[in-house]
């Protein structure tokens, strides 16, 4: 089978930038040393690039998990060009194909089933897409966005202006042109690239699958730290229209924090979240499947499977009761109609349902833990 032709532009870009970051940057750090100005500027530039991809390219444009003020969209468009990961239009098109055909080696642009190297960077080194490269039929909505369309049209000029202009400007301000070119120019670019690429590769190999095993995506807290919250990838692949990736308060997801914080000053709105009960049910279903797989290997498999099924059905019933009442309670509070009901009795029922659900959850966790 004939190999796809090499794309020399990206191959040379990735190769040269990586070699400079791996050889010249450490040499300069030892021989000359980076000052605090270079270090802080590199961290800030890296964060700007990363969040422009995660909050802008990914959660805003590719998945439309929220709406953003034009000011924020312009910031993301410039930052995305600075990150040098193609235009928002093209990036979103590839990403939507990835979600629609995840793990399909023929249709997923960076299918993890083709191996770590391919999903991490190999898919960009050869012309695997061929004539479909400029097929943007799956992002017609974004073609109507004047900021996305403008960035796509002027992408090359923007990448040169940001990746050359910003390091040179900072170098002029600091009086250390070479140090700033190596740190903000090269090191920042290489780290930004590979942190994003980790989501396409490592996040489909390394981690847990608490919500679904229908695809290869994993949740990984270490990757979340490196990718501004994108590491909770198993959750994201089953609930892609949620503006959050880390849904727990303690999960590291600065992209979520940025989007939520921006909503308080009117820069974001219509933040979409998945109902709590859907998340809980997906997690319980995965626990059931894993427990069933373990139970089938035991001598009394039939009895254990029946027990698991009964407890699972009871858990779902408790969930339905609890979340239905919780919705009613929240709705009544919002409508300021709680006084029209027998408040004490209603709250007592709410507490009882919550207690029953907690008890059933504990029982379920103990039961499924026995099969680990």
The model carries a pTM of 0.88
The token pair at 360 is 């059933």
Q: 1 to each of 4, 125, 143, how far by Cα in Å?
A: 9, 18, 36
**Does residue 336 have a pLDDT over 60?**
no
Q: How confident is the model at residue 115 (pLDDT cuts 50, 70, 90)?
A: very high
User: What domain range includes position 299?
Assistant: 276-369
Q: How confident is the model at residue 307 (pLDDT cuts 50, 70, 90)?
A: confident
Q: Are residues 227 and 344 in the same domain?
A: no
Q: How confident is the model at residue 357 (pLDDT cuts 50, 70, 90)?
A: confident
Q: 25 to each of 180, 188, 192, how far by Cα in Å?
A: 10, 11, 15
Q: SS3 of 170, please?
A: helix
Q: How confident is the model at residue 106 (pLDDT cuts 50, 70, 90)?
A: very high
Across 21-30, 76-85, 94-103, 355-364, least confident range: 355-364
Residue 283, C-beta contacts closer than 8 angstroms, at least 6 positions apart = 210, 211
% the chain with pLDDT above 70:
97
Instruction: Report the DSSP pairing between strands 268-269 and 67-68.
Output: antiparallel
Give the end of a domain, one of 269, 295, 314.
269
Rounded CA gap, 244 and 199, in Å? 16
**Does residue 131 have a pLDDT over 90?**
no
Which contiguous run of DSSP H or E holds residue 268? strand 268-269
In a domain, 48, yes or no: yes
Give the end of a domain, one of 269, 284, 319.
269
Rounded CA gap, 178 and 95, in Å? 36
- State residue 339's pLDDT score: 59
**Does residue 337 have a pLDDT over 80?**
no
**Does residue 333 have a pLDDT over 80?**
no
Q: Are residues 301 and 178 in the same domain?
A: no
Q: Using N-to-C axis directions, what is the helix angle for 36-51 and 188-200, rounded to 10°?
A: 30
Q: How confident is the model at residue 344 (pLDDT cuts 50, 70, 90)?
A: low
Rounded CA gap, 249 and 371, in Å? 28
In a domain, 189, yes or no: yes
Q: What is the pLDDT of residues 167-190, one digit of tens each?
A: 999 999 999 999 999 999 999 999
**Does residue 98 have a pLDDT over 70?**
yes
- State residue 80's pLDDT score: 98
**Does residue 338 have a pLDDT over 60?**
no
Across 251-266, average pLDDT? 97
**Does residue 89 have a pLDDT over 80?**
yes
Q: SS3 of 67, please?
A: strand
Q: Are residues 252 and 151 in the same domain?
A: yes
Is residue 84 a contact partner of residue 195, using CB atoms and an 8 Å limit?
Answer: no
Average pLDDT value over all residues in the chain: 92
Is residue 37 a contact partner of residue 174, using CB atoms and an 8 Å limit?
Answer: yes
In a domain, 35, yes or no: yes
Across 278-292, average pLDDT? 91
Across 274-294, average pLDDT? 91
**Does residue 316 have a pLDDT over 90?**
no
Q: Are residues 232 and 363 in the same domain?
A: no
Across 51-55, average pLDDT? 98
- State residue 348's pLDDT score: 79
Residue 368, C-beta contacts closer than 8 angstroms, at least 6 positions apart = 287, 288, 290, 291, 308
Q: Are residues 264 and 191 in the same domain?
A: yes
In a domain, 147, yes or no: yes
In a domain, 185, yes or no: yes
Q: Are residues 211 and 357 in the same domain?
A: no
Across 199-208, 250-259, 312-321, least confident range: 312-321
Is residue 332 a contact partner of residue 338, using CB atoms and an 8 Å limit?
Answer: yes
Q: Are residues 46 and 119 in the same domain?
A: yes
Q: Are residues 13 and 126 in the same domain?
A: yes
Q: Are residues 224 and 251 in the same domain?
A: yes
In a domain, 3, yes or no: no
Across 221-247, average pLDDT? 96
Q: Are residues 90 and 133 in the same domain?
A: yes
- State residue 81's pLDDT score: 98
- Structural domains of the chain, count: 2
Question: 330 or 230, which is more confident?
Answer: 230
Q: Are residues 257 and 299 in the same domain?
A: no
Across 190-212, average pLDDT? 96
Rounded CA gap, 93 and 89, in Å? 6
Rounded CA gap, 104 and 238, in Å? 16
**Does residue 340 have a pLDDT over 60?**
no
Question: What's the alpha-carbon Rg for the chain, to the nearest Å?
Answer: 24
Give the end of a domain, one of 269, 304, 325.
269
């Amino acid at each position: 089978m004939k190999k796809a032709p090499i794309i020399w532009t990206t191959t040379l870009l990735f190769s040269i930038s990586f070699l400079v970051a791996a050889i010249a940057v450490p040499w300069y750090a030892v021989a000359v040393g980076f000052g605090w100005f270079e270090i802080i500027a590199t961290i800030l530039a890296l964060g700007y690039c990363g969040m422009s991809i995660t909050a802008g390219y990914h959660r805003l444009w590719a998945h439309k998990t929220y709406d953003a003020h034009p000011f924020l969209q312009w910031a993301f468009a410039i930052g995305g060009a600075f990150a040098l990961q193609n235009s928002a239009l093209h990036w979103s098109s590839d990403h939507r194909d990835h979600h629609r055909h995840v793990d399909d080696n023929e249709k997923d642009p960076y299918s993890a089933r083709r191996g770590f190297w391919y999903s991490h960077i190999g898919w960009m080194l050869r012309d695997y897409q061929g004539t479909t490269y400029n097929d943007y039929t799956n992002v017609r909505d974004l073609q109507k966005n004047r900021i996305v369309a403008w960035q796509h049209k002027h992408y090359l000029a923007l990448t040169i202006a940001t990746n050359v202009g910003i390091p040179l400007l900072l170098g002029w301000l600091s009086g250390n042109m070479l140090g700033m070119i190596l740190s903000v120019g090269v090191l920042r670019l290489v780290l930004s690239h590979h942190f994003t690429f980790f989501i396409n590769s490592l996040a489909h190999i390394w981690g847990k699958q608490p919500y679904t095993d229908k695809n290869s995506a994993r949740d990984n807290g270490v990757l979340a730290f490196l990718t501004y919250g994108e590491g909770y990838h198993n959750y994201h692949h089953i609930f892609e229209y949620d503006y959050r990736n880390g849904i727990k308060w303690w999960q590291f997801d600065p992209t979520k924090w940025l989007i939520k914080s921006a909503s308080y000053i009117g820069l974001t709105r219509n933040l979409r979240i998945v109902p709590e009960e859907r998340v809980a049910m997906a997690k319980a279903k995965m626990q059931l499947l894993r427990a069933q797989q373990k139970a089938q290997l035991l001598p009394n498999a039939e009895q254990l499977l029946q027990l698991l099924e009964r407890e699972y059905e009871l858990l779902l019933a408790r969930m339905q009761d609890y979340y239905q009442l919780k919705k009613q309670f929240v709705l009544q509070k919002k409508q300021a109609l709680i006084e029209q009901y027998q408040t004490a009795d209603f709250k007592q029922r709410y507490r009882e349902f919550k207690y029953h659900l907690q008890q059933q959850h504990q029982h379920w966790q103990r039961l499924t833990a026995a099969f680990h």
